[in-house]
Chains A and B, each alone.
Chain A
C-alpha cells in the first residue's frame, strides 16, 4: 500500500512569491495535518483538516492557508514568502479525527526561499 505522498519533493522560491504544496493521504485516511520542520528542530504543527474542514491551527500567520478536497488530498499555500519560511513541510494522515490516532508522515517537501 502506498504511504503518504507529497509533491513536489524540492522547491526553490524567492521572497514575496507564493507556493502550493500537495499531499495525498494513505488510502482510507480522512484526516490530514501539516507540519513545518526547520533544520535542527522538531516538526511544528500548522493545520489539521478533517472532512474538508479546518479542525486545528497552530501559531502561524495568515499567510499560511490550506484546504482539503473531497478525495481527502490536501494543499498547503504560503503567500508572501519570507526567508524564514525555508523548511521541510511535512504532511501526515490519520484514519479519523482523534488525538490518539497514529499520524503517518510523508517524505516532505523541502522549500528554500532565496
Chain B
C-alpha cells in the first residue's frame, strides 16, 4: 500500500465525458476506503468513502466501486468538468487497531479539457 515513484498515472478526458480512476490495494485486512481529490498547493479533499460490507456507493456525480475479491477500487465521475482536474488518491484503513492510519495509493492525475 505504499505509494512509490515520481511518475503518476494520468487520465485525460474531454469535458462532459465520464471518468474512471482505478486503484489496487494490497492489505486484505483493509475494511474502509476513501477517495481524496488534491488540487495543486492544497490538502487532500474528501470525495467519498465506502466500507468493506458494501460494493457500491454513490454520491453527487461520483460513484465508488469496491471489489474485495481482486482488491480493486474505482472512482467514477459523471459529466466530468474542468474543475475536476486534480490528483486523485485512494486510501485504505484496516480499522480496529490500526487507529485510523490511512495508507494512500500512488495517485492519478486527471486532466479535463474544455
Residues of A within 8 A of B (CB): 4, 31, 33, 35, 39-45, 48, 50, 55-56, 58, 90, 92, 94, 97-108
**Closest Cβ neighbor of A108 among chain B residues:** B43
State the CA gap A94–B34 with chains docked (Å). Answer: 13
Chain A residues with CB under 8 Å of B46's CB are 102-105
The secondary structure that dominates the B interface is: loop
9-residue interface stretch from B65-73, B75-83, B91-99: B91-99
Total chain B interface residues with beta-carbon distance under 8 A: 34
Chain B residues with CB under 8 Å of A58's CB are 101
Residues of B within 8 A of A (CB): 2-8, 31-32, 34, 36, 42-46, 49, 51, 89, 91, 93-96, 98-107
**Closest Cβ neighbor of A90 among chain B residues:** B43
The secondary structure that dominates the A interface is: loop
Give min CB distance, A103 to chain B, whole Å.
Answer: 6
Known: A100-B31, A102-B46, A105-B44. A41 touches B98 (CB 8 A): no
Q: List 18 A-B contacts (CB under 8 A).
A: A31-B100, A33-B102, A40-B6, A40-B7, A41-B4, A42-B106, A43-B104, A45-B101, A45-B103, A55-B100, A56-B98, A58-B101, A90-B43, A94-B100, A99-B96, A102-B49, A103-B34, A103-B100
